Chains A and B, each alone.
Chain A
């Protein structure tokens, strides 16, 4: 494969001139101001429209609060999300797909315990058609019997696949362990529940819950924000109700406690999932906490990744990040590790959690995460889809483009002391709870010895 003669590794790694100096950073331009409209339509729908004509496309994102406490809610909501675009009074499934395809369009829907989400895009020239299809499915989805029964069948098959994914198993276990039976935990419906969903139930849920008031629509692309707002208002004029879309009940404050060992027989790798209470983006401490999180495990050059991946090789990826749910926020720490090093990886993770507060990030560490946080905002906002995703996340909690453009300044103002305080206040190991999913036979003896992990005697 290779040259008959080659230099040694040692020879390759040096030159006659020797090591060189890292160039300084140049002058950074700020991102251009966003031309946008942020308004609430007569039907209660908030529309956030931003002009970004990089490419001749439009990106549409919607979040409709869609919580429910009926025992069949999550199953019915999933079937609704799978069938809402399979036919209306005016169009059948193939007609919807054909009209979208001819404008380079796509439209997808998804549901979680908090929201029904719509994600759509097309060539900018096709926007009238895209809005017409969107209005059609929001107001006249027909849920014909054979589409509902076929999609429920497929959903059951997909759920079977999902429940063999370690990350899904770990997520379900974490949700149960953190929040018990709160509706927020019902992210993946039970196949038996899906089997009971009828077209009548789906139609009733649509009529009752799929409402504009309290919902948000973000549109980013090659558009005129003023004109597009009027276009949206006209297209969605038939979508109305006096009731507001239903918000998820508040989550309880998360308390620290033992991790739970969740058995998965024969697994060759384990999932570590830790979680602690945090604060939302509107809290004055958020920017400092964001930087503390980055320094802990929020980017590759973090203490956690440098320790358990780059130094010890325990994992391919370790990560910590925020989960925002309404006005609530938690921080999650995740790593997947080989069985034989799972307990050791947990030990190192706890060590780094404690160390973050006790030996806090230095000025240089804070400067690095500060640049990373500001750069990530710039990079994310540089594409239409990236900007739409950023804005939807903000709009769903009542924030908007002003928060986005003001955040670099907030990050710039954070001091090293504030990061240290946030680390001490929020990253103490005792504040965390969580789960370990893996082969219990291999893991139990070491985790028992380590402590702070509840090991049940028999498999659940």
Chain B
């Protein structure tokens, strides 16, 4: 596939820049990825990386509280931020007349965010409401991204809840914020991406004008989060006060997404063979033929692929009727994995996965916000933004034997199983 125009540069302060001009629509996307996510937050401060993301919207030297939102939306744009295991991104998409404004806003908070006690207290309240909304007050809240890691992983960075415990959030101090910013939000620890309707030379000048004098600080040492794979099947049970049906999540370890990319992609293709579409193996057997489950899904990465460094998780999740035991579902899953391990999938089976991935990536890149974020994330994690486009060909190159090899590695004696049980006499 032809790679659209891409340019990379690095400013003197270490800020990496990705530029992807495309004049087909008069809109532009700007994002900043910082190389710190919730795996880097310290014990006793669960949820801090995400809380800090909220604070980065609360004003900076040139911008009062609320001004960031007003300037972006008042220029016709939209914005957001999100916290991932290994990075935190901030982004806006705007009519292209607002490009310089967006660069100014991102540079101002990279240079001098206004961190105040009042805003910290307010955003702790907002984050608690976010957690009530997305986790505590709904069925299957945090399933599986919060619930599965503590079963599969044993070290704090990999196992803990990235949304955070309320007690930890409430203990966050302004000094924690200052230390976190000074350590992790250095320009040398960030990637700026601009995609869409702009002139290359003008964008370079504007980036230099606004980001060039953000003072350099050392790029922090990035620790390895590696830990041994489980040597047995690890199980836990979670009682859900809202869920009407039982569910289970199975977690396996995968090849290093960055340094063993082909092995990682074989797992991605395997997830498609297992559960993408009515013709996939688990859908055919477990949803329709037997049938044991209401819904089943297999996936690489708990938030999707290409979102994290090593270690990353391969997961299978299913919701099933109360009279079906978790072990029956697991038994069927193991049989399907064994079948794939001994007889590799057919060429047509892989062609289906390849075509769907190709189409999905086209659609994703057609949305400017997704394209901007993908380019930034691939620069940050892989040092190669073009891989955002090239990954389609790499997926198409995965051979049936590699998928069989991946299936062989998903062993019952090295995995985590989380069972979700509806609470007896539950609230509705």
Contacts and interface: CB of A to CB of B under 8 A. Distances in A.
Interface of A: 1-3, 6-9, 11-15, 17-23, 25-32, 54-57, 86, 93-94, 96-98, 100-106, 121-123, 150, 153-154, 157-158, 160-161, 163-166, 169, 264-269, 299-301, 306, 309-317, 336-338, 367-368, 371-376, 378-379, 381-386
B69 interface: yes
Contacts of B386: none
A160 to B, nearest CB: 4
A215 to B, nearest CB: 25
A3 B182 contact: yes
Interface stretch (B146-154, B227-235, B334-342, B349-357): B349-357
Most chain B CB within a 10 A radius of its CB, from A18, A121, A269, A384? A269
B362 A372 contact: no
A435 B78 CA distance: 30
Given A28-B96, A301-B74, A265 B129 contact: no
Contacts of B113: 12-13
B177 A9 contact: yes
A123 B396 CA distance: 15
A344 to B, nearest CB: 13
B226 interface: no
Given A1-B41, A379-B368, 14 more contacts: A1-B180, A2-B42, A7-B178, A12-B181, A57-B362, A123-B355, A266-B241, A300-B69, A310-B65, A336-B129, A338-B132, A374-B95, A379-B93, A383-B366
B95 A28 contact: yes
A382 to B, nearest CB: 4
Contacts of B287: 154
Contacts of B62: 19-22
Contacts of A165: 138-139
B180 A2 contact: yes
A446 B229 CA distance: 53
A157 B175 contact: no
Interface string B394-428: 00000000000000000000000000000000011
Contact of A310 (B27, B66, B74, B348): B66
A102 B69 CA distance: 43
A382 B279 CA distance: 33
Contacts of B79: 300
Contacts of A31: 25-26
A1 B132 CA distance: 28
A383 B104 CA distance: 26
A372 B182 contact: no
Interface in B162-179: 174-175, 177-179
Given A27-B97, A378-B27, A123 B362 contact: yes
Given A301-B73, A310-B66, A379-B93, A97 B278 contact: yes
A378 B61 contact: no
22 contacts: A2-B179, A3-B182, A12-B112, A12-B113, A13-B114, A14-B61, A96-B278, A100-B277, A101-B352, A163-B428, A266-B427, A269-B137, A306-B66, A313-B121, A338-B128, A372-B77, A375-B27, A375-B76, A375-B78, A376-B76, A382-B24, A383-B368
B316 interface: no
